Amino acid sequence: MKIEGQHTFEAPRELVWQTVLDPDVLAAVLPGCEDFKEVGENEFTGTLKIKVGPVQGKFKGTVALTDLVEPSSYNMRIQGKGAPGFVDGKGQLRLEDDGGSTVLHYEVDAKVGGRIASVGQRLLDSSSKVITRQALEGLDQQVTAKAAAAGAGNGEEPPPPIEAPSQTEFAAEFTKGMVDELVPKKSRPWLAAIGLAVGILIYKSCS
Amino acid sequence: MSGVIGTSVKRREDAALLIGKGKYCDDFTLPNMTHAVIVRSPYGHARINSVLTTEAAEHPGVIAVFTGRDVVNSDIGGVVPTGWLLPGIKTPEHPILATDTVRYAGDGVAVVVAEDRYIARDAAELVEVDYEPLDAVTDVLAAVADGAPQLFEEAPGNISFDWDLGDAEATAAAFDRAAHTVEVDLRNNRLIPHAVEPRGCLASFDDTSGELTLYVTTQNPHLHRLLMSLASLNLPEHKMRIIAPEVGGGFGSKIHHYPDEAIASFCSMQIGRPVKWIATRSETNLTDAHGRDHASHAEIALDAQGKILGLRVKTHAAMGAYLSTFAPAVPTYLYGTLLSGQYDIPAIHVQTLGVFTNTSPVDAYRGAGRPEATFVVERLIDMAADATGLSVVEIRRRNFVSKDDFPYQTAVALAYDSGNYDGAMDRALELSGYEALRAEQKRRREAGDTKLMGIGISSFIEACGLAPSQVVGALGAQAGLYESGKVRVHPTGSVTVYTGSSAHGQGHETTFAQVVADRLSIDVDQVEVVHGDTGEVPFGMGTYGSRSAAVGGSAISTALDKVIAKSRKIAAHMLEASEDDVVFEDNAFHVRGVPSKSQGWGDVVLAAYLAHNLPEGLEPGLEETSFYNPENFTYPFGTHICVVEIDSETGAVELQRYVAVDDVGNVINPMIVDGQVHGGLAQGIGQALWEHAVYSDDGQLLSGTLLDYAVPRAHNLPFFETDRTVTPCPHNPLGVKGVGEAGSIASPATVTNAVVDALSPYGVKHMDMPLTPEKIWRAIHRNGG
């Protein structure tokens, strides 16, 4: 499975770089993430609670960042396993200046196995896109807040408290992802409403 | 009642099943029973560094957790064997729980036993296995490529066996002098059996008596007992009782001895309590032996008149990660031997390589080798028709073995005993209105209809009624394939029949009762049929290979011969007549030529048990057993014709008509025979149009649910039009041949031939199954549609 894309932050590259290396921030913006902590230099462990279709459970995993080129890129190795199966991914994160803003490019190539692959594979792509998007949106808030604080000349002020997305938000995002992929733009509004309702139902029935 | 053979007696077993009172494996509960859940590998191929069970073992309600090491350190055999050996075959060990390497996603590594199955499932998630992933290979051709990941050191190149049959030189010579040759690379898609009832078992070991009672979803309880006694458990056979209660379908998948029943038995022996294990649906999909999965290169050579000179096939057959019970026989003796089809082919050569892949094992599935052979032959015949300019009907007719040429010795070992291939095809052509269909097709093509009409024909043969024991023994079977039948006549004249042919939906309780009722001129309700219990039935090889009527039914028939012979002795004594003058007719013994002198069946039976006045030297009682060993396979055949309509804009196929003319010999119960044909057709059509077990390259089963694996639904299928010709089997007492697999053998080729026919205006010569809209749409658009 390949996950790739990009996201533009309205902030200078150094600030984005600091943010994407901050374990507290990462722990907060990853949906379903628990006990995320730094256990060595650029090595983190944590637990990710995930739900993909009918498959749910906890992944225990490690994230190792290597080949850090400050403030522009690093490689990552993500390994997780648990009752729903396993994930083993390798990827790269890259930051580029774009005028005053910063473009974050990411790509991860992940092997996924076990129940999550044999039962949940149909929903895997959409789920991983949703997780990624929610994480990026969380990061964006963080970066924006930090940038605002820096702009006010008061770098000491803490960023706003962060909350991981709720289950309902996840369901809504998941449905949005499916709609984006499957439905032509003009028919989206009413379908999205129905889809949201269905998504919440599916989500509730899995929990 | 005499005359009851050939009538559609309603299935006596259905009442209980329809109101939910059938007792399946999971319906049995024993005192003090526990539940097992098997921890399975999520990897297609990995080394096991460690298995930590502490946390799972401490989980409240857990009784024990065992790993592969615990099995190795115990007294049991701990491996599941294969039951068919070929020359030079590599048979790497298949441990019931893996110890150092897992070879497919689903391979068992540990088992958790708990007070209930929910606790067991929760605790199974706490078993921590440290895997070191290895490269995997799941495609049968990729597995034999240079540099492919290797499954076993002792099987270099992942090859388990390299088998061939027929005369390679004569075949090469036939190709040298051919006017036309056609070749094709084709795949036979991998299938998941999908019995309605998932596999399961309930093992209860009594540590005072040393006896094991095992309820298990099996098609052949005695075979299970044999394999478990010899290999997986090492328990004495007489200390094991194996019970197959109601079994909810098998289609071959419940022939095999899986690790799971040995694991449950092992657990019961360890903890001294009964242990139940029932597979979940997704576990069944991952671990049931799959079917088919061949990659073949096939060629046919013809002379200028379209007469076949030779046929040459090289097949790579996936075996999966381990050799399952009958796996080596399926792509060899149940496949290569059928490559002559219904045709007179002077030279045939077939080579089959059995290949290990990181997938669930592959073994017999409804048809087992014969659908694969039929697909090869019937695709080649259609392609040869195209190459020679003959019609698909004419090319078949020119090459059929003639009705007068039986017995016919094929170039691939089998001797066909009887047949009338033109007869069945004529009937199918007539029933389908074939000429009118072709005229309609021509008209629609000329009119530029965007709905593409296709007509497919398949003339198939199978070898079933498995099997003559000496023959299969010489070919590598590690068991005989005879059957036992025991007829116990009770003092008041009713009968209990014990058969080793263990039903799981086929209707033995009705069909076999008809055989007995017919012979003894008693009511069907006076006959009870017992099967599926090694504690009651003397011995038996089970139900598969369309063998129950031909072999199991014949065993009952020969046991009835013995019963009638003994009772005639008693009747002659009572009638004070010579035994030779006494005939049994209409439920009574008569003295030939003296109509007034007769003794009713009931009186004779009672006399046998009273024993007040028996002929000198004759033992009391009336109970006889027969072990029937068939002298040949049986050879059902037929011609099927179907009509499809393809939407050229979407590629969707609609199966509009399906005509099946089968010759299965004499028919005991026409309704049950029709039912078997219908079921077989549904499965074969499923293979042709929808079903496909797909693995990712790294060993994940991607079609692991019914969302992703499309089994046919009733609304996908047309009203089947079935008919029969009757050419009785000449060598068994009932003249029956077998019908369980016919539909699934013929139909994949019938449907594929129809789809290719529909697409022929686009230059399509061949397509591999399943024939999904996407594939068809691409084929149309690749060729300028």
Q: What is the mean pLDDT of residues B315-328?
A: 98
In angstroms, the CA B592 to CA B588 distance is: 12
Tokens of B757: 């026919």
Residue B363 to residue B324: CA distance in whole angstroms: 6
∠ CA B234-B236-B239, rounded to 5°: 125
**Is residue A192 scored above 60 in pLDDT?**
no
Does A86 sit within 8 Å of B702, measured CB to CB? no
Give the Cα-Cα-Cα angle B166, B167, B168 (nearest 5 degrees).
Answer: 110
For position A205, what pLDDT does the model report? 46
B590 and B461 co-located in one domain: no
Residue B88 CB contacts under 8 Å (≥ 6 apart), including other chains: B161, B162
| Three-state DSSP class for residue B313 | strand
* B748 in the same domain as B618: no
d(CA B717, CA B308): 34
Of the three residues B269, B287, B305, the one that is the final residue of a domain is B287
Task: State residue B372's pLDDT score.
Answer: 98
Distance from the A117 Cα atom to the nearest Cα atom in chain B, whole angstroms: 6
Mutate to test the interface with B, among A55, A58, A88, A121 (most CBs of B within 10 A): A121
What is the spatial distance between Cα B145 and Cα B139, in angstroms, rounded to a whole number?
Answer: 10
CB contact under 8 A, B282 and A121: no
How high is the pLDDT of residue B758?
Answer: 98
Rounded Cα distance between B668 and B517, Å, is: 12
Domain for residue A161, yes or no? no
| Beta-strand relationship, A85-98 and A73-82 | antiparallel
More confident residue, B782 or A159: B782
Pair A76, A170 in one domain = no
Q: Are A151 and A91 members of one domain?
A: yes
Q: Same domain for A198 and A126?
A: no
DSSP B20: T
State yes or no: pLDDT of A181 exceeds 60: no
In a domain, B382, yes or no: yes
Residues of B in contact with A81 (CB under 8 A): 42
Q: Which residues contact B756 (CB under 8 A, 6 or more apart)?
A: B382, B454, B456, B764, B765, B766, B767
What percent of chain B has a predicted confidence (pLDDT) above 90? Answer: 96
Looking at residue A187, its pLDDT comes to 52
Task: Give the integer Cα–Cα distance in Å for B365 and B332.
Answer: 14
Contact A112 B704 (CB under 8 A): no
The verdict on B613 and B506 lying in the same domain is yes
Q: Is residue B394 part of a domain?
A: yes
Cβ within 8 Å, pair B699-A114:
no
**Interface contact B704-A118, CB threshold 8 A:** yes
Predicted local distance difference test score (pLDDT) of residue A50: 77
Percent of chain A topping pLDDT 90: 17
The answer to whether A118 contacts B125, with C-beta atoms less than 8 Å apart, is no
Residue A183 has phi, psi (to 5 degrees) of: -115, 135
Query: Span B515-544, mean pLDDT?
Result: 96
Q: Which residue of chain A is at minimal alpha-carbon distance from B703? A: A118
Domain co-membership, A134 together with A204: no
B483 - beta bridge partners? B628
- Cα angle value B409/B410/B412 (rounded, 5°): 130
Residue in B42, B705, B708 nearest the CB of A85: B42
Contact check, Cβ <8 Å, A118/B705: yes
In a domain, B187, yes or no: no
More confident residue, B688 or A99: B688
Of all helices (H) and strands (E), which one includes residue B403?
none
A115 → chain B, closest CA residue: B42
Say whether both A192 and A110 belong to one domain: no
With a pLDDT cut of 70, the percent of chain B lying above it is 99
| B783 confidence band (pLDDT: 50, 70, 90) | low
Residues B655 and B751: their CA atoms lie apart, in Å, by 8
B364-375 per-residue burial string, b: 16 or more CB within 10 A, e: under 16? bbbbbbbbbbbb
Q: Cβ contact (<8 Å) for A115 and B282? A: yes
Taking CA–CA distances from A85, the nearest residue in chain B reads B42
Together in a domain, A144 and A172? no
Tokens 């490269």, residue located = B135
Q: Which of B37, B40, B43, B285 to probe by mutation at the A interface, max A CB count within 10 Å?
A: B43
Mean pLDDT, residues B239-254: 97
In a domain, B186, yes or no: no
β partners of residue B365:
none
Q: Do A117 and B44 touch (CB under 8 A)?
A: no
Q: Give the distance from residue A85's alpha carbon to the nearest chain B alpha carbon, in angstroms.
A: 6
Question: Using an 8 Å Cβ cutoff, are A28 and A138 in contact?
Answer: yes
State how far the Cα of B534 lies from the Cα of B220, in Å rounded to an integer. Answer: 10
Burial of B439: CB neighbours in 10 Å, binned 0-12, 13-18, 19+: exposed
* Among chain A residues, CA nearest to B283: A115
Q: Are residues B73 and B221 in the same domain?
A: yes
Name the pLDDT band for B160 (thresholds 50, 70, 90).
very high
Residue B143 in domain: no
Q: How far is A62 from chain B (nearest CA, A)?
A: 14
- A26 or B709, greater pLDDT: B709
Chain B CB contacts of A124 below 8 Å:
none
Cβ within 8 Å of residue B687, ≥6 positions away:
B189, B191, B292, B371, B744, B747, B748, B769, B770
Supply the pTM of this predicted model.
0.92
Whether A126 is in a domain gets the answer yes
Q: How much is the average pLDDT of B312-337?
A: 97
Taking Cα atoms as reference points, which of B2, B1, B8 lies closest to residue B511?
A: B8
Closest-CA distance, A113 to chain B, in angstroms, reads 6
User: Cβ–Cβ of B700/A112 closer than 8 Å?
Assistant: yes
**Closest-CA distance of chain A to residue B133, Å:** 10
| B261 phi/psi in degrees, rounded to 5 | -70, -30
> Both B656 and B611 in a single domain?
no
Q: What is the pLDDT of residues B184-200, one digit of tens each?
A: 999 999 999 999 999 99
Instruction: Specify which residues A113 forms β-bridges with.
Output: A86
Per-residue model confidence (pLDDT) at position A206: 42
- Total structural domains within chain B: 3
Task: List the strands of the sheet with B347-356, edge to edge.
Answer: B159-166, B347-356, B308-320, B294-302, B180-188
Token reading at A149: 């604080």
Q: How far away is chain B from the Cα of A81, in angstroms, using its nearest Cα? A: 10
Contacts with B708 from chain A: Cβ below 8 Å: 121-122
Residues A78 and A126 in one domain: yes
Determine the Cα–Cα distance for residues A132 and A93; give it in Å rounded to an integer.
Answer: 13
Q: What is the pLDDT of residue A177?
A: 58
Q: Map tokens 């559609």 to a residue.
A: B8
Where does the pLDDT of residue B452 fall: very low under 50, low under 70, confident under 90, or very high at 90 and above?
A: very high
Q: Do A117 and B701 touch (CB under 8 A)?
A: yes
**DSSP-assigned letter for residue B710:** -
B599 & B725 share domain: no
Q: Indicate the range of A170-174, B252-256, B524-528, B586-590 predicted with least confidence.
A: A170-174
Residues of A with CB under 8 A from a CB of B: 57, 81-83, 85-86, 88, 111-115, 117-119, 121-122
List, in sequence order, every residue forming a beta bridge with A48; answer none if it has no partner.
A33, A59
- What type of residue is B80? V
Contact B399, B444 (CB under 8 A): no
Measured CA to CA in angstroms, residue B105 lies from A90, B258, B347, B693, B774 at distances of: 22, 15, 42, 13, 28
A151 and A131, same domain (yes or no): yes
Q: What CATH number is attached to the domain comprising B104? A: 3.90.1170.50
pLDDT above 50: residue A207? no
Q: What is the pLDDT at residue A60? A: 87
Domain annotation covers residue B40:
yes
- Residue pair B694/B703 in contact by the 8 Å Cβ criterion: yes
Position A7 in a domain: yes
Nearest CA distance, B767 vs chain A (angstrom): 26
Q: Which helix (H) or strand (E) holds A95?
A: strand A85-98
User: Is A113 in contact with B700 (Cβ distance < 8 A)?
Assistant: yes
Q: How many CB pairs under 8 A join A and B?
A: 51
B707 contacts in chain A (CB < 8 Å): 122
| B651 occurs within a structural domain | yes
Q: Is residue A115 a contact partner of residue A84, using CB atoms and an 8 Å limit?
A: yes
Number of domains in chain A: 2
Distance CA B562, CA B622 (A): 9
Same domain, A101 and A200: no
Domain end call among A155, A174, A192: A155
Cα–Cα dist B212/B203, whole Å = 7
Domain that holds residue B617: 482-628
Q: What is the mean pLDDT of chain B?
A: 96
Helix (H) or strand (E) holding B69: helix B68-72
Specify the CATH number for the domain of residue B448.
3.30.365.10
Q: How far apart are CA B504 and CA B527, in angstroms?
A: 19
List of chain A residues whose C-beta atoms are within 8 Å of the C-beta of residue B699: 113
Q: Where does the pLDDT of residue A156 fall: very low under 50, low under 70, confident under 90, or very high at 90 and above?
A: low
CA separation for the pair A132, A141 (Å, rounded):
14
Checking if the pLDDT of A76 tops 80, the result is yes
Distance from CA of A38 to the nearest CA of B (A): 22
Please judge whether A118 and B285 are an interchain contact, meaning their C-beta atoms are less than 8 angstroms apart.
Answer: yes
Handedness of CA B722, B726, B730, B735 (dihedral sign): positive
- Contacts of A145-153 spanning 24+ positions with Cβ under 8 A: A146/A11, A146/A15, A146/A18, A146/A19, A147/A10, A147/A11, A147/A12, A147/A15, A150/A15
Range of the domain at A98: 2-155
Does any domain span residue A48? yes
pLDDT band at A198 (very low <50, low <70, confident <90, very high): low
Q: Is the pLDDT of residue A193 over 80?
A: no
Domain shared by A57 and A94, yes or no: yes
B685 has pLDDT over 50: yes
Tell me the C-alpha distance between A62 and A74, whole Å. 16
Same domain, yes or no, for B662 and B710? Answer: yes
Q: Do A149 and A204 lie in a common domain?
A: no
One-letter amino acid identity for B282? Answer: S
| A7 and A29 inside one domain | yes
Instruction: Check A121 against B700: CB less than 8 A apart.
Output: yes
Q: What is the ipTM of this complex?
A: 0.74
pLDDT confidence of residue A154? 52
Looking at the complex, report in whole angstroms how far the Cα of residue A100 sits from the nearest Cα belonging to chain B: 44
Final residue in a domain of this structure, among B605, B628, B651: B628
Residue B600, in any domain of the structure = yes
Report chain A residues whose CB lies below 8 A from the CB of B696: 117
Q: Please tell me the predicted confidence (pLDDT) of residue A178.
A: 55
Please check whether residues B500 and B399 belong to one and the same domain: no
Q: What is the chain A residue with the closest CA to B122?
A: A83
**Is A28:A164 a contact under the CB 8 Å cutoff?**
yes
- Chain B contact residues (CB < 8 Å to A): 42-44, 105, 124-125, 131, 133, 282, 285-286, 696, 698-702, 704-705, 707-708
Q: Which residues of B touch A57 (CB under 8 A)?
A: 125
Handedness of CA A119, A124, A130, A136 (dihedral sign): positive
Residue B770: per-residue pLDDT: 98
- Write down the residue that tokens 């998948």 correspond to: B253
CB B381 within 8 A of CB B345: no
pLDDT exceeds 70 at position A195: no
Mutation to test the A interface, candidates B129, B132, B705, B709, most A Cβ within 10 Å = B705
Domain identity same for B444 and B494 = no
Contacts B124 to A, Cβ<8 Å: 83
* Contact flag A119-B44 (C-beta cutoff 8 Å): no
Integer Cα distance of B521 and B600 in angstroms: 11
pLDDT at B385: 98
Claim to verify: residue B624 and residue B640 sit in the same structural domain:
no
Distance CA A70, CA B247 (A): 65
Do B232 and B127 share a domain, yes or no? Answer: yes
What average pLDDT does the segment A28-40 reach? 83
Name the domain boundary from B628, B646, B681.
Answer: B628
Per-residue confidence (pLDDT) for residue B75, from 0 to 100: 95
Residue of A nearest to B105 (CA): A114
Token digits of residue A187: 């028919």
Instruction: Please say if the pLDDT value at position B427 is more than 50.
Output: yes
With contact defined as beta carbons under 8 Å apart, do B221 and B532 qualify?
yes
pLDDT of residue B116: 97
Rounded CA gap, A106 and A91, in Å? 7
Q: Which two tokens stand for residue B177?
A: 């002098």
**Is the separation of the CB atoms in A15 and A146 below 8 Å?**
yes
Whole-number Å distance between alpha carbons of A154 and A143: 15
Within a domain: residue A160? no
- B263 and B343 in one domain? no
Q: How far apart are CA B152 and CA B681, in angstroms?
A: 38
Q: Which residues contact B9 (CB under 8 A, 6 or more apart)?
A: B510, B513, B514, B524, B669, B671
Q: Is B35 helix (H, G, I), strand (E, B) or coil?
A: strand
- Specify the pLDDT at position A147: 84
